[in-house]
Amino acid sequence: MPRRTLLAMPLAAAGPRAAIAQRPPAEDFAAAERTILAGRAPRADGIALEVPQLSENGNSVDIAVKVASPMTAADHVTAIHILSEKNPVPRVATFALSPRAGRAEVATRIRLATTQTVTVLAETSAGAVHRASREVIVILGACVDGG
């Protein structure tokens, strides 16, 4: 690597601790939800949330989300957000969708620090937000903040 390129990267030269120190402050669950809702009142319908009630290992918890939507250009789901109530970082995942997706469905595995409520918010092209939640009991937690 040329010397000029290396000198142009002060964060890399300072090491990983400097990168951690310059991270923005952690957002809590309520703030993350408020930011996504942006003053809109969520509807408690339209989302089918599949997540186990009991997970033996928080390192890998299966979750599937289906949102009732025609997925047309005029009416479709634009984003699906998965939030965790007690993880160090509450925004677990965000999926951006368009009518080309055909269906408003996502499936993934998430990490959960401890027993908590998992919340899903689905935003639509009409500006509506749908909300669903489910408590998950975690036997062996994951992603504990090492301080």
Q: Which two tokens stand for residue 124?
A: 């639509």
Residue 74: phi and psi, rounded to 5, are -85, -25
Burial category of 61 from C-beta neighbours within 10 Å (exposed 0-12, middle 13-18, buried 19 and up): buried
Greatest CA separation found in the chain?
Answer: 58
Q: What is the per-residue pLDDT across 108-123, written as a single tens digit (0 to 9) for each?
A: 999 999 999 999 999 9
Domain ranges of the chain: 27-140
Percentage of the chain surpassing pLDDT 70? Answer: 79
Strands 129-140 and 54-57: parallel
Give the contacts of 45 (CB within 8 A, at least 6 positions apart): 130
Q: What is the per-residue pLDDT across 60-108, written as a single tens digit (0 to 9) for each?
A: 999 999 999 999 999 999 999 999 999 999 999 999 999 999 999 999 9
pTM score of the predicted model: 0.80
Q: Which CATH class is domain 27-140?
A: mainly beta
